[in-house]
Amino acid sequence: MSIEPRELLLKMKQYEFVYDTKIGQVMNPKADEDKEYVLKILDLLYKNFDRVRYIDDMGSKYTGKGAWAVMLSQKFALLDKRIPIPQVPFHIKIDGKNDLSIKTKHAYLMLVGFFKESDNEICVCL
């Protein structure tokens, strides 16, 4: 079964995220809020799909220098593929710099501004 890339953004909303798991809820007391904003980010990317470029890796080689990129994962978002545990279900790169500490709520608000204030594309890794 193949799915159109744009529809994949909507399909992502139907699956279990690490926020839904017991370990996800223990490790992140704001798991429900984070999941809510991840879903909003998926909607935002869907609405601005003409400016979305899918990538397989968050490295600068794939995103480009100074680019914005977002990685979303249903269950596993591995920064280091050698460690098979859920590490970061949401990851954003702003102006080419990784920011692992930013909450999804703040990232959502920044992405709203990004789409309003710039004409640049955003890289997305699902």
Cβ-Cβ contacts under 8 Å for 93 (sequence gap 6 or more): 58, 63, 67, 68, 69, 70, 99, 123
Tokens 């979303």 belong to which residue? 72
Predicted TM-score (pTM) above 0.85: no
Q: Where are the domains of the chain?
A: 5-125
pLDDT value, residue 88:
60
pLDDT in tens, 59-117: 888 888 888 988 887 654 444 455 555 456 788 889 888 877 788 899 999 999 999 99
Mean pLDDT value of segment 27-44? 88
